[in-house]
Every structure is written in structure tokens, then in C-alpha cells.
A = this chain, B = another copy of it.
């Protein structure tokens, strides 16, 4: 295939290439050099390139590069042939001026469709919906609906649901193709459609949409405005992408990396991770400063320093655990059901049990190891107190962020760990100073 492309054998190349699934075509396309890609633009039509772009999964800045290789008119025609939601996604990566340019030379209807999608806020239902759905009326027969479906099958993003609208384009019902096929040809749509339609609002969060799609096992969900006008549909393939993205996002945040995606350049990678680390470094300096206030205590009982990483580390570990549980719970909307006080009380009790267990274990271990009963008691007591506090802090901080309408997932593991370092040192040295005389 590549050989045919190099040799300029248009027909041979097209025959083999167009046999591939669009995703495989897209994979082939991105692996080529700019020269080969330019040849592809000559051999393929805008509609054929549109299929490739509908399946492209690339970094945002790469769209710019690819588009700049093509003739502007070719770009405009290609965008017009793409599904409107994907075309809008591509245009969202470009400068406003370029967008305006492409829309001007595009055919009017496609331009209107895409433009309509451009102004929806990111991460809302509107930003991932498409306008290529099939709408029918309640007072037509199954047979005529079937004709509409066959006519529009080539352009609609899904043909497996038909949405029933009234004169004002308000959504009044839905009918799956399965139901349509098993209905009598002469039946009226209003008699066979479902009038309890599950829909989402255009400004609803995409995570909420994903949850609905997952619960109801739909292949597409209709999107409406406040007056129940049908604006578009969201298909399950877009929802699959949303779920993956949101999961990667939560994961990155827990690890304290802004972005765990493939970063081939070490300088770029370091640049992305450093800001967070520098903040943590200064938080760490606060811990150092705190310890330095206890230098007297340390001077007298140097052995205290031995248990600093153990206590600080353990409080970080438990804090991260309860943080992760709290973040997931908030994401699942579980918190609304249960109420915050009950949740905090439960975490506190969990913390007490964990603290007590670890405290007893460490008391025994230290006593056996160092043969100092009071030192064992002190470390055990400190561990008990810090773990209890760390568990509650791990749950409280994301809850607090949720209240302030900050994404609770921002409270990353490293952040919680550093905060808990501070708390645990305060408790440990506070107790040590109090019971100094016994050590």
C-alpha cells in the first residue's frame, strides 16, 4: 500500500486503503511523513479525509500541523463532511481567525451546524453532542418513519434511535430501531413510541451524562434545553472517551502530576511536574521549620529523630487512603445521600480503629527493639493520634474543596502527605516535649 503511494499508483493505493477500517486508516495517516501525507490529500477526497479525521486521536497541537498542510478549501470541505461534533472539536483547537476563515468558505448548512456547537462550554453535554440525529413526528406511520430513516441513514451519527418531536421541535418521545422493526407497518408512531424519555440538559456536566448512559445502557441520549427543545444527541462512543478521560484525570491528580499522558521530552515532563514539587518543597520547609523549634528536645533525646520518617510516612499513607475513598465517594454522588456529618463520623471511627491497631503494634515493636517502655508508649501514642487525625483530614479536605466548588480531586496524594507530615510532627514532638522527663 505504501509502495503504491510512493509510486503514485492512485487506484492501487485507494483500493487497498479504503478497504481498511477508518481507525486503521487514521493510524496509517499519522504514521506518515508530511510529504507522504500531502500526497494522500491529493489521492483522497475531502469526504474520505473526513472519515480519517473522525477517527483521529491525537494531541491538540497536532491538528494545527495537519490542517496547515492542506489547502484551506480542502480543509473546509473536509470539516463539512465530518460529524459536526468532531468538526467542532477540531476547530476548538485553532485560533479564532482561522476558525472564521474556514467557516466562511464552508457550505452554509454545515457551517451553521458546527457554529452552533462551538459556543458550548467545555465538559458540558453541549460540547460533546452532535446534531446529526433522526427526528420524526408522532402522527406518522411506522412505514413513513422507516422511509425517513433509510433516507437519512448515510448522514446520521446513529440510526438506532429515532426521536419524536412536535411542531415546536420539543422532544415528546423516543423509539429504538429495534422497536420500529418489530412494530406493524401501519401503526402510528404515537402508539408505539416511549413517551417517558430519558434526556440530559445541554449544560449538564459530561460526567453526569456518562453516569446516565452507563446506568440506563443507552447507545445515545437526547440533549434538550430548558424548554425541552431537542438540540442534539450524545452517542455512546463519545461517552466511552469521556469516562476514560475523567478516570485518567482523577488518577493524575491523585499522583500530583498535571497530566500523565505520554510526554516524550524529558524537559517538557520536568516542566510539567516541577511547579507542584516546588510548592510541596515550601510546604516541606514549614515542616523543617517546625522541627527546628523542637531542637532543644532533639538535642536532649536524639533517638526521637529515628521515628520521624515512620510517623510522618504512616500519616501520609493513611491520609492518601482516606482521601482516595472520599474523592471517589464525592464523584459517585454518594455524599449527597448520606450527609457530611455521618461521613465524617464514620471516617473518624475508621481512623480511631486504624490508629489504635498501628499504635499498639508499634509500642510492642519499639519496646522489644529498644527495651525502652516509655519511648514505645510515646511513639505508639503519637502514631495513634496522627493516624486518627490523618484519616479524618484525608476525608475532610476534599469535602471542604467540594463545598468551595473546587474539584476535590485536586487534593492530590503528595499534597495530603505533606500536610499530614506537618500535623504528625507537631503531635509527635508536642507529646515528646510534654513527657520529656520520662524518656
- Which of A252, A284, A334 has most chain B Cβ within 10 Å? A284
Q: Is the CB of A354 closer than 8 A to any CB of chain B?
A: yes
Which B residues lie within 8 Å of A438 (CB)?
A: none
In the complex, chain A residues 270-299 whose Cβ is within 8 Å of any chain B Cβ = 270, 273-274, 276-278, 280-281, 284-285, 287-289, 291-292, 295, 298-299
The answer to whether the Cβ of A266 comes within 8 Å of any Cβ in the partner chain is yes
Q: Are A196 and B310 in contact (CB under 8 A)?
A: no
Question: Secondary structure of the A side of the interface?
Answer: helix
A280 nearest in chain B by CB position: B317
A346 touches B239 (CB 8 A): no
Judge whether A58 is part of the interface by a CB distance below 8 angstroms. Answer: no
Query: How far does the alpha carbon of A278 sit from the alpha carbon of B387 in the complex, in Å?
Result: 12
Binary interface encoding of chain A residues 380-410 relative to chain B, with 1 for a CB under 8 A from any of its CBs, else 0:
0000000000000000000000000000000
Q: Which residues of B contact A23 (CB under 8 A)?
A: 215-217
Task: Pick from B213, B292, B310, B317: contact of A240, CB below 8 A.
Answer: B213
Complex-state Cα separation, A365 to B263, whole angstroms: 31
Contact status A273-B150, CB under 8 Å: no
A236 touches B215 (CB 8 A): no
Q: A153-B181, A310-B284, A325-B260 are in contact. Are A358 and B417 (CB under 8 A)?
A: no
Q: Which listed segment binds B: A112-120, A121-129, A242-250?
A: A242-250
The closest CB in chain B to the CB of A248 belongs to B328
- Report B-chain residues with C-beta under 8 Å of the C-beta of A312: 309, 312-313
Chain B positions within 8 Å of A417 at CB level: 313, 316-317, 417
Q: Is A40 an interface residue (CB 8 A)?
A: no
Select one of B239, B256, B262 contacting A321, CB under 8 A.
B256
Q: A304 to chain B: which residues have CB within 8 Å?
A: 305
Distance in angstroms between the alpha carbons of A257 and B291 in the assembled complex: 30
A313 and B298 form a contact (CB under 8 A): no
Hey, what's the 0/1 contact readout for A154-165 against B, CB within 8 Å counting as 1?
Answer: 100001100000
